[in-house]
Amino acid sequence: MTRRIVLIGHPVAHSLSGAMQQAAFDAVGIDATYELWDRTSMQIADAIAEVRGDDFLGANVTIPHKERVVPLIDRSTEDAVATGAVNTITREGRRLIGHNTDVPGFEAALDKLVGRQKMPRQAVLLGAGGGARAVVHGLIRGGFQRIVVFNRHLHRAEGLVRHFAKGAAHMELRAMPWHDSIIESELTRTKVLINATSIGLLGDVSPIPAEIIPPGLLVLDLIYKRTRFLRDAEAAGCTVMDGETMLLHQGAASFTLWTGQPAPLEVMAAALAQARAGGLRSAEGEPAGEEAATSEEAATSTAG
């Protein structure tokens, strides 16, 4: 029987995850197909129920549903509980287990960005959605002592801070209102700057003005293209990285969870690079096209 894995999100068309995972299954000789399911919030419960079927190995969950699926599954593993967000589902009989492989994906990206330098202790984070939760968990686990979270809707950043309060009791985790002057002031006190908003996903726009980015920061954009934010940061004299490394490593961790086998990382990296060069776009990194701009959820979350 051909096994099925689905990516559930809205939108999901032209997903790079599909190219990456299908190449991995083919390379290790597992008879499986990776399908893209574009599902709105109203359709999520039915989609999750379907994944309980015998032909499914599991699923990926992407924007904007990572937090929404948590109550629909039967058990969450440590990273999923810690973040309150699920991006990978495995199946044990008819029971569904939720995981969050964005966390190890982010940790791999951060390690690569920091390189041989000493791991910094302060970070400024833009955004407070599902991706931001994986970032905060990874930063806390990485020994960061001060993390400041800015979000358009302050209450969501405050909710994130409350969620992590227990595990962050030993350090400073703060939500702050989104004002350029406050962000500018915080950027003078930090070493790491991360964009976990979806600003830059649809258009060539940056979440913050170029003038407030000081030189010398380590800058990561979860979006995996050369966004205006990254171009501005590079021009300011920062070291920059896009979201491809995170995508690759979250995908590799998901592959291992579904199959119990080590992921063929080089095959996956090559498939990603090829898909990216070919102009394919992903629910994790870029919108699916016109439908992303017009869908009601994409319009409100902008994450697509």
Per-residue string for binding with ligand NDP, 107-126, x by CB under 6 A?
--------------------
Q: Which of 21, 250, 254, 259 forms a contact with ligand NDP (CB under 6 A)?
A: 250
Q: What's the rounded Cα separation, in Å, for the pair 24 and 99?
A: 20
Cβ-based nearer residue to ligand NDP, 133 or 146: 133
Residue 46, burial from CB neighbour count under 10 angstroms (0-12, 13-18, 19+): exposed
Instruction: Give the x-and-dash track for 23-62 against ligand NDP (CB under 6 A).
Output: ----------------------------------------
- Residue 105 or 120: the one with the smaller Cβ distance to ligand NDP is 105
Q: Among residues 21, 88, 197, 206, which is the contact residue for ligand NDP, using CB under 6 A? A: 197
Residue 223 interacts with ligand NDP (CB under 6 A): yes or no: yes
Instruction: Please report whether residue 243 would count as binding ligand NDP according to CB under 6 A.
Output: yes
Q: Which listed residue (66, 112, 118, 166) is catalytic?
A: 66
According to DSSP, the residues that pair with 294 across neighbouring strands are: none
Q: Which is nearer to ligand NDP, 3 or 77 (CB)?
A: 77
Residues β-bridged to residue 37: 8
Examine residue 264 and tell whether it contacts ligand NDP (CB under 6 A). no
288 lies in the binding site for ligand NDP (CB under 6 A): no
Asked if 151 is part of the footprint of ligand NDP (rule: CB under 6 A), the reply reads yes
Helix (H, G, I), strand (E, B) or coil at 7: strand
DSSP secondary-structure letter at 120? P
What beta strand segments (E) does 233-273 contain?
Answer: 239-241
Q: Identify the residue among 105, 120, 138, 264 touching ligand NDP (CB under 6 A).
A: 105
In the bound complex, what is the minimum distance in angstroms from residue 229's beta carbon to ligand NDP? Answer: 11
Which pairs with CB-CB distance under 8 Å and at least 24 residues apart come from 267-271?
A: 267/23, 267/24, 267/27, 268/20, 268/21, 268/23, 268/24, 270/23, 271/19, 271/20, 271/22, 271/23, 271/24
Given 199, 241, 272, 275, the residue binding ligand NDP (CB under 6 A): 199
In this complex, which beta carbon is closest to ligand NDP, that of residue 53 or of residue 203? 203
Cα–Cα distance list, 260 to 30, 187, 204, 255 (Å): 11, 42, 40, 8
Could you tell me the CA-to-CA distances from 233 to 41, 70, 116, 195, 244 in Å, in that order? 35, 35, 20, 11, 17
- Exposed, middle or buried, 184 (CB in 10 Å: 0-12/13-18/19+)? middle
Contacts with 159 (C-beta within 8 Å, 6 or more apart), sequence order: 128
Does 177 sit behind a cis peptide bond, omega within 30 degrees of 0 on the bond before it? no
Q: Which one of 27-35, 111-119, 183-191, 222-230 is the stretch in contact with ligand NDP (CB under 6 A)?
A: 222-230
| Among 216, 278, 269, residue whose Cα is nearest residue 246 | 269
Residue 164 is a binding residue for ligand NDP (CB under 6 A) = no
Least distance from ligand NDP to the Cβ atom of residue 178, Å:
7
Could you say whether residue 91 binds ligand NDP (CB under 6 A)?
no
Known catalytic membership, residue 66: yes
DSSP-derived secondary structure letter, 71: G
Instruction: Kindly list the residues in this chain that would bind ligand NDP in the complex (CB under 6 A).
Output: 63-64, 66, 102, 105, 127-132, 151-153, 156, 196-199, 201, 222-224, 243, 246-247, 250, 284-285, 301-303
Q: Annotated catalytic sites, by residue?
A: 66
